Copies of this chain bind each other. A is one copy, B any other.
């Protein structure tokens, strides 16, 4: 079973990577970009076959390792 996790900085937390991308896009002539936020995506291949169990397990992984929940939020897609 596949799971995809997005880890993004929470709103209000400064995102220097996103700001750098926004700046670079402007320098390349891409106008019309009002905001950029950059985060991580983690694709997991799990042995687990039960959707609810897989989601619970991945949530635990996020809390313990994948996200720093003080400054980051995460969301999980299963399947």
| Interface residues, chain A, with chain B CB atoms under 8 Å away | 6, 8, 18, 21, 24-25, 28, 30-48, 57, 60-61, 64-66
Contacts and interface: CB of A to CB of B under 8 A. Distances in A.
Given A32-B46, A35-B45, A41-B41, 7 more contacts: A6-B41, A18-B42, A32-B47, A34-B45, A35-B43, A36-B45, A38-B43
A33 B47 CA distance: 6
Given A39-B43, A42-B21, A64 B28 contact: yes
B48 A43 contact: no
Copies in the complex: 2
A43 to B, nearest CB: 5
Contact of A33 (B25, B36, B46): B46
